[in-house]
């Protein structure tokens, strides 16, 4: 079985939602589309207030090389273009659309297509027009990823089905329910990279998904499946690449430089949908889980629907939660309001009646070394924390702190309950600033 060194084993808590089939959430009256749902340049609105739009129509155009289109997920009328709150806590220019509930789609929407009859350029254009970005968290525009300098250097396309964060089950549901589209999506990608082999990587706590996919691609010569050990962060890009190929990359090396492309399950399914079914990216799959819900769920949510609406759709809260997280509990963002739209960079929505962090006794670091044994990057987190707290950037860099992937493993295991990862997230930006000012000084 494939795996990496170190890492941790948080309680999986997947049984809460893993057997809930994906349900489609019905959209409300008003939908909000932020122009920044991806890494890179903000999209530029290409509609005006008062315009009528169709489902699948591009309403925000990719602006620059690294950017992505934003599409309307319903048909209706543009009622406002204004700043709206998004999950990260920022306000972002957004297009507000009044849903006419007719779901009139753009021409050709939903038409079946054979990817073999398409040229590589056409496939990449379709992916770009469909507004597809990485749906595993990074939200990197997929068409850019699919156009590396030298396609012949790519010998692995890894589909990340690790879903190693506790609670999350949306990728699992997709792998089971959309097996065929997943394999199709991967075939589309492989067409672009003639020398590459596709590997669908699944953790061994999802064996049924693994078996189903293995069966579905048994007759396809350039696709394999790989069963990986259930361990966090098995789905981290560097850990996944190492587990499957034995190649090691660091922060300054792109996966493509190591001959690998990594995409998450939902992204590959979206590619399959866009290329083979002419259905652009208008939705994402969201797991609602945690003890505060009446009913956990895996939901197919159109972009633009507010978090509040999906919580109500699923059946609301049993008790008002004390803590909510967008994403998994190890790396997700804390949520402070439900009045925000679901977008491409959304993730699961977890709700806990008790904040697991509220009654932790922080003590001095006892130098126990648990953080060292947990760190998948082989760092010495307790020393990094000392350097970070004293603002000693040189020491922090010497300790390779810039290699930290903020996976949270060190904070998770620390018996002294030290805020290790939060400091390292902060240092990511602080070190950059420090290096810039140093350069200027020279």
User: Which residues contribute to the site for ligand SF4 (CB under 6 A)?
Assistant: 365-371, 374-377, 379, 381-382, 404-410, 413-416, 418, 420-421, 424
Query: Binding segment for other proteins among 39-47, 68-76, 374-382, 433-441 (CB under 8 A)?
Result: 374-382
Is 294 an interacting residue with respect to other proteins (CB under 8 A)?
no
Do 386 and 427 form a contact (C-beta atoms < 8 A)? no
HSE value, Cβ hemisphere, 13 Å, CA-based, for 213: 36
The region that residue 259 occupies, defined by phi over 0 for left and psi between -120 and 50 for alpha, beta otherwise, is left
Cross-strand partners of 152: none
Q: Using CB distances below 5 to 8 A depending on partner kind, what does residue 250 bind out of other proteins, ligand SF4, none?
A: other proteins
- The residue among 28 and 321 lying less far from other proteins, judged by its C-beta, is 321
Q: Using CB distances below 5 to 8 A depending on partner kind, what does residue 330 bind out of other proteins, ligand SF4, none?
A: other proteins
**Tokens 């003890």 — which residue?**
291
Distance in angstroms (rounded) separating the CA atoms of residues 289 and 26? 19
Is 429 an interacting residue with respect to other proteins (CB under 8 A)?
no
Is 249 an interacting residue with respect to other proteins (CB under 8 A)?
yes
Q: Which residues contact 127 (CB under 8 A, 6 or more apart)?
A: 142, 143, 146, 271, 274, 275
Return the number of other C-beta atoms located less than 10 Å from residue 128's C-beta.
20
- CB of 16: closest distance to other proteins in angstroms? 14
Q: Using CB distances below 5 to 8 A depending on partner kind, what does residue 117 bind out of ligand SF4, other proteins, none?
A: none
- CB of 385: closest distance to ligand SF4 in angstroms? 6
HSE value, Cβ hemisphere, 13 Å, CA-based, for 360: 17
Do 351 and 324 form a contact (C-beta atoms < 8 A)? yes
**Contact code string over 5-34 relative to other proteins, x by CB under 8 A:** ---x-xx-----------------------
Is 421 an interacting residue with respect to other proteins (CB under 8 A)?
yes
Query: Binding segment for other proteins among 15-23, 203-211, 295-303, 334-342 (CB under 8 A)?
Result: 334-342
Taking the CA atoms of residue 402, residue 238, residue 328 and residue 301 in that order, the dihedral angle to the nearest 10 degrees is: 120
Q: Using CB distances below 5 to 8 A depending on partner kind, what does residue 219 bind out of other proteins, ligand SF4, none?
A: none
Name the pairing type of β-strands 70-71 and 76-85. unpaired
Of 324, 342, 349, 427, the one binding other proteins by CB under 8 A: 324
Residue environment code for 247-263, b if the CB has 16+ CB neighbours within 10 A, otherwise e: eebeeeeebbebbbbbb
Do 134 and 171 form a contact (C-beta atoms < 8 A)? no
Is 151 an interacting residue with respect to other proteins (CB under 8 A)?
no
- CB of 133: closest distance to ligand SF4 in angstroms? 24
Q: Using CB distances below 5 to 8 A depending on partner kind, what does residue 418 bind out of ligand SF4, other proteins, none?
A: ligand SF4
Query: Binding segment for other proteins among 18-26, 96-104, 297-305, 368-376 (CB under 8 A)?
Result: 368-376
> Cα separations (Å) of 199 from 121, 243, 386?
23, 12, 40
Is 400 an interacting residue with respect to other proteins (CB under 8 A)?
yes
Spatial strand order of the sheet with 70-71 comes to: 44-45, 58-61, 70-71
For other proteins, the binding residues in 75-94 under the rule CB under 8 A are none
**Contact code string over 338-357 relative to other proteins, x by CB under 8 A:** x-----------x-x--xxx
What are the residues binding other proteins (CB under 8 A)?
A: 8, 10-11, 166, 238, 242, 248-251, 253, 308, 317, 320-325, 329-338, 350, 352, 355-358, 360-361, 363-370, 372-373, 376-380, 382-383, 399-400, 403, 406, 408, 411-417, 419, 421-422, 425
């Amino acid at each position: 079985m494939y795996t990496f060194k170190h890492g941790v084993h948080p309680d999986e808590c997947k049984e809460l939602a893993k057997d809930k089939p994906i349900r489609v959430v019905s959209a409300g009256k008003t939908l909000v589309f932020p122009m920044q749902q991806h890494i890179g340049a903000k999209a530029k609105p290409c509609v005006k207030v008062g315009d009528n739009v169709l489902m699948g129509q591009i309403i925000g155009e990719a602006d620059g090389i690294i950017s992505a289109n934003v599409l309307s997920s319903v048909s209706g009328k543009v009622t406002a273009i204004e700043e709206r709150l998004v999950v990260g806590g920022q306000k972002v220019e957004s297009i507000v659309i009044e849903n006419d509930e007719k779901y009139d789609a753009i021409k050709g929407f939903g038409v079946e297509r054979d990817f073999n009859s398409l040229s590589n350029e056409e496939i990449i254009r379709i992916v770009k027009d469909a507004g597809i970005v990485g749906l595993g968290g990074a939200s990197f525009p997929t068409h850019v990823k699919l156009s590396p300098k030298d396609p012949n250097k790519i010998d692995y396309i890894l589909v990340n089905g690790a879903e190693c964060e506790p609670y999350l089950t949306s990728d699992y549901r997709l792998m089971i329910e959309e097996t065929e589209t997943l394999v199709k999506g991967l075939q589309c990608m492989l067409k672009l990279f003639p020398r590459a082999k596709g590997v669908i990587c699944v953790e061994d706590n999802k064996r049924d998904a693994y078996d189903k996919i293995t069966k579905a691609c048994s007759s396809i010569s350039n696709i394999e499946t790989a069963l990986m050990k259930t361990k966090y962060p098995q789905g981290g890009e560097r850990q996944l690449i190492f587990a499957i190929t034995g190649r090691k990359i660091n922060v300054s090396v792109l996966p493509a430089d190591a001959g690998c492309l990594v995409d998450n399950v939902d992204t590959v399914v979206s590619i399959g949908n866009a290329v083979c079914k002419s259905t652009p990216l208008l939705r994402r799959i969201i797991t609602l889980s945690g003890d505060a819900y009446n009913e956990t769920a895996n939901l197919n949510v159109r972009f633009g629907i507010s978090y509040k609406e999906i919580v109500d759709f699923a059946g609301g809260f049993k008790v008002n939660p004390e803590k909510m997280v967008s994403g998994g509990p190890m790396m997700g963002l804390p949520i402070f309001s439900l009045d925000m739209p679901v977008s491409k960079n959304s993730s699961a929505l977890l709700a806990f009646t008790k904040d697991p962090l509220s009654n932790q006794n922080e003590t001095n670091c006892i130098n126990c070394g648990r953080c060292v044994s947990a760190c998948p990057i082989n760092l010495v987190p307790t020393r990094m924390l000392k350097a970070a707290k004293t603002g000693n950037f040189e020491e922090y860099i010497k300790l390779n702190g810039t290699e930290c992937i903020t996976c949270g493993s060190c904070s998770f295991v620390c018996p002294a309950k030290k805020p290790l990862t939060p400091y390292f997230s902060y240092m990511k930006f602080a070190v950059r600033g420090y290096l810039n000012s140093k350069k200027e000084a020279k």
